[in-house]
Amino acid sequence: MNPLLSRLQPYPFERLRQLFASVTPPAHLSPISLGMGEPRHATPAFIKDALVAGLGGLASYPATAGEPRLREAFTGWIARRYGLALDPATQVLPVNGSREALFAFAQTTIDPTREGAVVVCPNPFYQIYEGAALLSGATPYYAPSDPARNFAVDWDSVPEAVWQRTQLLFVCSPGNPTGAVMPLPEWEKLFALSDRHGFVIASDECYSEIYFRDEPPLGGLEAAARLGRSDFKNLVSFTSLSKRSNVPGLRSGFVAGDAALLKAYLLYRTYHGSAMGPAVQAASIAAWNDEQHVIDNRAQYRQKFAQVTPLLERVMPVSLPDAGFYLWAQVPEHLGMSDTDFARQLLAQYNVTVLPGSYLAREAHGANPGAQRVRMALVAETAECLEAAQRIVQFIQSPSP
């Protein structure tokens, strides 16, 4: 067996199952889950129709690089969203969702024969970054997010000796779970570090289309172009249809950026066998070419967050994020509970599931930056999220009825 497998950590939902194993939630209250970050708005009918209409291609193997029309759909979207002109032949590739793509990218970029390979990632973070780093033979380094600066990652806290060994940096903007969007000066700092130390930046942008400010989140490629880095040297961004178009089951996204990196990545993917099926390609083309459903989806999230956030703000430290579909709330100090106690008792008394923040982060440099926080995914319909928020308010106001 690959000995590196033993270094993988249990997934947060596995830990949640164990935490809840002995809990019997009250039967008179319907269960409401704010736990999983899985989109639950309806999939637009035209995407399903395109999927069915694309079934004709099943009799042949698809190319790993995708059909030209698919690649043009990616670059067309990038042009409309970020005002950038990318070459569909060399600067984009289809992926089967950003999860496998992020994982496979580490396997492509890390050189395990170089002593002491490091992958830097934010803390809290999406657990795939850590697994991708470990299975590539690298060691993850966790850079904490700073609640005092809107959860911006404290890149300055990473020692120079760590940057020197860094081969890959994961950034997540908008962030999961914090919702924080990286501004241009932060990108400038990371590009300078990448130039100095030669590491690659993987920019996870799967929440880019769900935002609450007027201005859409700055993308990594957009930041690079604004700073005169038109070849996107050492930068690849990861974009997904899952959240944008409510199709997590389709498994569809794309990567874009540095053509030299994508050439190596395509070679890796060809061997790994991760071509996108023709029907999924057809549905993806339809989804990327339409923006109205994305505008409507965003409006639904905005309405929901506008109603739910003020309710919770009255009883716990929490605020509207820049983007994403999570509230990253602090457990009120006066309760004297850990984040895991809070989640357990909330389920036991009100049948509402939230995810303890410490499960989404690692203890590193003497602290777990997710401790005393909980993540609430507002993915269900507004009425259900409001009901959950009302129960949480009651729970905080009288935690032991």
Ligand X SMILES: Cc1ncc(COP(=O)(O)O)c(C=O)c1O
Q: Applying CB under 6 A, which residues contact ligand X?
A: 37, 97-99, 126, 172, 176, 204, 206, 240, 242, 248, 253
Helices 292-313, 382-397: crossing angle, 10 deg rounding: 20
Distance between the two ends of the chain, CA-based, in angstroms?
51
DSSP 181: -
CB of 100 to ligand X, least distance (A): 7
Integer Cα distance of 112 and 102 in angstroms: 17
CB of 17 to ligand X, least distance (A): 18
Which is nearest to 217 in space by CA: 253, 187, 258? 187
Nearer to ligand X, 131 or 248 (CB): 248
Integer Cα distance of 185 and 30 in angstroms: 46
Token pair belonging to 176: 């999961």
Nearer to ligand X, 138 or 247 (CB): 247
CB of 81 to ligand X, least distance (A): 17
CB of 208 to ligand X, least distance (A): 11
Nearer to ligand X, 177 or 278 (CB): 177
Beta partners for residue 8, in sequence order: none
Nearer to ligand X, 12 or 278 (CB): 12
CB of 206 to ligand X, least distance (A): 4
Integer Cα distance of 321 and 146 in angstroms: 14
DSSP 276: P
Amino acid in the structure at residue 243: K
Compute CA distances 189 → 124, 182, 186, 223, whole Å: 20, 11, 5, 11
Nearer to ligand X, 54 or 248 (CB): 248
Integer Cα distance of 46 and 119 in angstroms: 40
Task: Identify the residue whose tokens are 């070679």.
Answer: 267
CB of 29 to ligand X, least distance (A): 27
Nearer to ligand X, 50 or 360 (CB): 360
Determine the 3-state secondary structure of 216 from DSSP.
coil
Nearer to ligand X, 202 or 388 (CB): 202
Nearer to ligand X, 71 or 99 (CB): 99
CB of 240 to ligand X, least distance (A): 3
Angle at 359 between CA 178 and CA 103, to 5 degrees: 75
CB of 380 to ligand X, least distance (A): 16
- Ordered DSSP codes for 48-99: HHHHHHGGGGGGSPPPTT--HHHHHHHHHHHHHHH-----TTTSEEEESSHH
Residue 305 near residue 386, CB atoms below 8 Å: no
DSSP 229: -
Nearer to ligand X, 286 or 337 (CB): 286
Beta-strand pair 235-240/253-257: antiparallel
Compute CA distances 379 → 201, 242, 300, whole Å: 29, 12, 10
Nearer to ligand X, 244 or 304 (CB): 244
